[in-house]
Amino acid sequence: MQELRVGFVVNPVAGMGGRVGLKGTDGLADRARALGAEPTAGARATAALLPLAGRPLRFVTAGGGMGEAALSAAGIAGFDCVYRPAVPTTALDTRAACRAILEQGVDLLLFCGGDGTARDVADAVGRAVPILGIPAGVKMYSSVFAVDPAAVGAVVPTDGPLRCTDAEVIDVDEAAYRANDLRTVLHAVVRTPVAPGLVQATKQVFEEADEDRARAAIGAFIADAMLPGVLYILGPGTTTGAVGRHLGLETTLLGFDAVLDGRLIKADLDENALLAQLEMVGEARLVLSVIGAQGFVLGRGTQVCTPSVLRRIGPRHLLLLGTPGKLVRTPALHIDTGDPALDAAFGPHLQVVTGYGTAQRKRVGGDPAAPIMGERNG
Amino acid sequence: MQTKIHLDEDEMPRRWYNIQADLPAPLDPPLNPKTGVPVTPGDLSAIFPAELIRQEMTAARFVDIPDEVIDILRLWRPSPLFRARRLEEYLKTPARIYYKYEGVSPAGSHKPNTAVPQAYYNRQEGIERLATETGAGQWGSALAFATCHFEMDCTVYMVRSSYAQKPYRKMMMQVWGAECHPSPSILTASGRAVLEKDPNTPGSLGIAISEAVEDAANHANTNYALGSVLNHVCLHQTVIGLEAREQLASVDEYPDVVIGAVGGGSNFAGIAFPFAGDKLTGKKPEVELIGVEPAACPTLTKGLYAYDYGDVAGLTPIMKMFTLGHDFVPPDIHAGGLRYHGVSPIVSRLVRDGVARAVSVYQNEVFDAAQTFARTEGIIPAPEAAHAIRTAIDVALECRRTGEARTILFNNTGHGHFDLASYEAYYAGILPDYDYPEELIRDALSRLPKVG
């Protein structure tokens, strides 16, 4: 089998803010160090690499704590070092290292960090190569992370092709997060490997082709169900984007767009622009994708979906979209509009459209564990 | 205390019960898909033998079961009726729960009850091969078993996703001498048309029916066989309810509630029609009949009562029934046998007239019930059968609340030994609760041009 080329980047300061209560380390590595935080990302990276030692893999990495050290500690000698970072490292180094690695040609980019690192990696590589995160950050709302460092070995294929799916990189506003205000925004949609056998129980391994097919079906269904005179607000993400594509509209990937009678009225709306659009029509529907690994249904987290906007549209006019592959990795949905009464108005379950004329019922919040004997029957 | 209530082989019903005789008004006639006028026996003769066409249309209250058929049914019939005392105790219900167990047949489900007579009548009329479709493989394996007893060939078009995911049913068909192809296939024009549009399609029951019907229509020695929906299929399944009524009578019982899962409607028909007949004729006006369908494919609870095709290509007669639209492809629930857009015209009529009622249930609550049943009564049920178990448990729990000691009868249509992967998914917590986006579908349909 041909040798798989794996790019490898560690953000050596990732996770340091967590131990000292900083809820993230973006721009705060020095303060974390002053508070006594120790770097942990290197050790987690090494743990993830151990099962990969001895496999026919060629690593392309950055020097010192950005990759080289963890590879050596895991007993892996087969790597090329293509970038020398400044010390201490910053986000600039992550992006520059990724670009240097990309130039060498890799099949997969493995990185170690959290949401902030994922954001930098995504900015540098986009959809050019699949990326996979070794979880070592404070916040990991993006869906590009392996469940734990040890699982990385199972995701990197030992034979056969690398099978991929779409995944969202979530941007969390750290300043707001420190004030217990979770604001999540979809930052980018990247490619990430799926593990053959990871979801063996259903014998369904969702690959890019399946996901594309499902997205196209969802897009066609929603487009067919659009009623004349009703305003449709399409939220961020590739699944909502499929609705626009089916209608032949140039919608934005990351913003909120207004569609009326099959035409794009206004793209990339902010709250005020949206409220102004809502003033002009009788009825509206909000079309959202399920975002991120934790199943967030965007609420408070965006500029647009404020409680006043959601009340104006009405909770029962939320159209939620998600591909089956996405939902199999999403045990429950979460709504947090900042207004508990409004949250409750969405009910204990939400329907997620998963194909043409098909949907799934998903639990909102609560314990995602499967029902146990006697839960309902006892 | 008695757990199993048996009948002797010579107490097996000698006649099927035809509920058409007791309907207050005759069924709306099936229409020819090409001309739109009522189907004549001649229209059906290209794909069905004369005797089955007669049974499809007859108003006679009883139809004799041929001795040759009874001889084969004897391999497992009469099937046992169980009193589910351990389940009752676990639920702390005053209700008495009985179930008919059809998993004792060689194919492991109720399907051979009609596969055997269908093969027999076709063989009687010189047919050498049967073509059919199968979803999860229950029907395909039953027909393979039946044709092998009459030295006939059998070609099964199996929905492609199941063909790949459920290899064991395919192997059973092979053991009994049938040929099994993934559908859509390149063997038929209907299959090729679908593949041209979408080479990676997972297939559907509606597509597979089109292929089997086309195969039968194009070969003089070949007929088509359908495992559910049609009147003659429901007729053959009434042995279940007829036996159950005798078995219950032998312990001085008559059910207050009769429950069966509904896909195409034949197992529900089998357990419920004899009791529905008692209700229609005023002998037992109070008996309650409940059909249980998946929330993913809620034909009776959310469908339209209208004329529709039985298949995707529009080759079957147009029937008046509850339907979700013949182009609706239900999501891939584990109860593959319940993934059908329509439902038997007779079952539809009974529900429309309020003689029977329907409920819909989600996949996880179905497996929750299946597990409870397996841990109390021992049998690991098929996901289809578990739909009936779910509702039987719900009725029994309602009895606990009200203190009513109702007698519940449900149809346990088969074992789940080839469905264990679905249990695995349930335990992994990744079993989706498929739903039906009713409002969006209504919106989408409201924009379609009106035809016909």
Nearest residue on chain A to B90, alpha-carbon basis: A378
Q: Could you list the residue range(s) of the whole structural domain that residue A145 is in?
A: 4-199
Judge: A377–B369 Cβ closer than 8 Å, yes or no: yes
Does the ipTM surpass 0.85? no
Q: What is the mean pLDDT of residues B108-126?
A: 97
Q: Specify whether A22 is located in the same domain as A134.
A: yes
Is there a domain that residue B376 lies in?
yes
Q: Hey, which residues 391-410 in chain B have their CB within 8 Å of chain A?
A: 393, 397
Is there a domain that residue A375 lies in?
no
Judge: B432–A328 Cβ closer than 8 Å, yes or no: yes
In DSSP terms, A230 is beta-bridged to A283
Q: Could you list the residue range(s) of the whole structural domain that residue B254 is in?
A: 4-9+67-108+231-441
pLDDT category at A304 given cuts 50, 70, 90 is confident
Is there a domain that residue B311 lies in?
yes
Is there a domain that residue B159 lies in?
no
The DSSP result for A254-318, as a single string, is SS-EEEETTEEEESS--HHHHHHHHHH-SEEEEEEE-BTTTTEE-STTSSS--HHHHHHH-GGGE
pLDDT value at residue A366: 55
Q: Specify whether A139 is located in the same domain as A156.
A: yes
Q: Specify whether A156 is located in the same domain as A246.
A: no
End residue of a domain, out of A199, A226, A242: A199
pLDDT tens column, B57-93? 999 999 999 999 999 999 999 999 999 999 999 999 9
pLDDT value at residue A140: 79
Q: Specify whether A224 is located in the same domain as A299.
A: yes
Determine how many CB atoms are found less than 10 A away from the CB of residue A247. 19
Contact A23/A178 with Cβ under 8 angstroms?
yes
End residue of a domain, out of A199, A228, A263: A199
- Spell out the residues 6+ positions from residue A53 whose beta carbon is closer than 8 angstroms to its own: A74, A75, A76
Q: Could you tell me the CA-to-CA distances from B296 to A115, B304, B352, B439 in Å, in that order? A: 36, 15, 21, 14
End residue of a domain, out of A141, A175, A199: A199
Q: Specify whether A217 is located in the same domain as A135.
A: no
Q: What is the mean pLDDT of residues A210-223?
A: 91
CATH code (residue B397): 3.40.50.1100
Contact B417/B346 with Cβ under 8 angstroms?
no
Q: Specify whether A172 is located in the same domain as A263.
A: no
Q: Specify whether A301 is located in the same domain as A214.
A: yes
pLDDT tens column, A200-210? 333 345 666 77
Judge: B434–A358 Cβ closer than 8 Å, yes or no: yes
- Sign of the CA dihedral running A120, A121, A124, A128: negative
Contacts of B368 in chain A (CB under 8 A): 371, 373, 375-377
Q: What is the mean pLDDT of residues A129-136?
A: 91
Q: Which residues of chain A approach chain B closer than 8 Å at the C-beta?
A: 199-203, 209, 213, 221-222, 224-227, 319, 324, 327-328, 331, 349, 351, 353-362, 368-371, 373-378
B366 touches chain A (CB under 8 A): no
Q: Specify whether A80 is located in the same domain as A136.
A: yes
Structural domains of chain A, count: 2
CATH code (residue A73): 3.40.50.10330
Q: Which residue in B165, B364, B371 is closest to A203 by CB distance?
A: B165
Nearest residue on chain B to A209, alpha-carbon basis: B200
Contacts of B364 in chain A (CB under 8 A): 370-371
Across A85-229, where does the E strand assignment appear? 108-113, 131-135, 164-172, 184-193
Q: Specify whether A23 is located in the same domain as A141.
A: yes
pLDDT tens column, B4-34? 999 999 999 999 999 999 999 999 999 998 8
Q: Specify whether A166 is located in the same domain as A214.
A: no
B296 touches chain A (CB under 8 A): yes
Is there a domain that residue B89 lies in?
yes
Q: Which residue in A224, A319, A374 is closest to B447 by CB distance?
A: A224
pLDDT tens column, B165-219? 778 999 999 999 999 999 999 999 999 999 998 888 878 888 899 999 999 999 9
Q: Specify whether A227 is located in the same domain as A141.
A: no
Mutate to test the interface with B, among A198, A199, A200, A202 (most CBs of B within 10 A): A202
Task: Determine the Cα–Cα distance for residues A246 and A250; give it in Å rounded to an integer.
Answer: 10
Is there a domain that residue A370 lies in?
no
The 3-state DSSP class for residue A185 equals strand
Contact A289/A302 with Cβ under 8 angstroms?
no
Task: Determine the Cα–Cα distance for residues B107 and B143; give it in Å rounded to an integer.
Answer: 9
Q: Specify whether A143 is located in the same domain as A226.
A: no
Q: Which residue in A202, A358, A373 is closest to B430 by CB distance?
A: A202
Structural domains of chain B, count: 1
Is there a domain that residue B422 lies in?
yes
Measured in angstroms, the CA of B437 and the nearest CA of chain A are apart by 6
Is there a domain that residue A178 lies in?
yes
Contacts of A199 in chain B (CB under 8 A): 428, 430
Is there a domain that residue B367 lies in?
yes
Measured in angstroms, the CA of A251 and the nearest CA of chain B are apart by 22
Contacts of B418 in chain A (CB under 8 A): none
Q: Could you tell me the CA-to-CA distances from A170 to A17, A58, A136, A167, A236 in Å, in that order? A: 18, 29, 15, 10, 11
pLDDT tens column, A51-84? 999 888 999 999 999 999 999 999 999 999 999 9
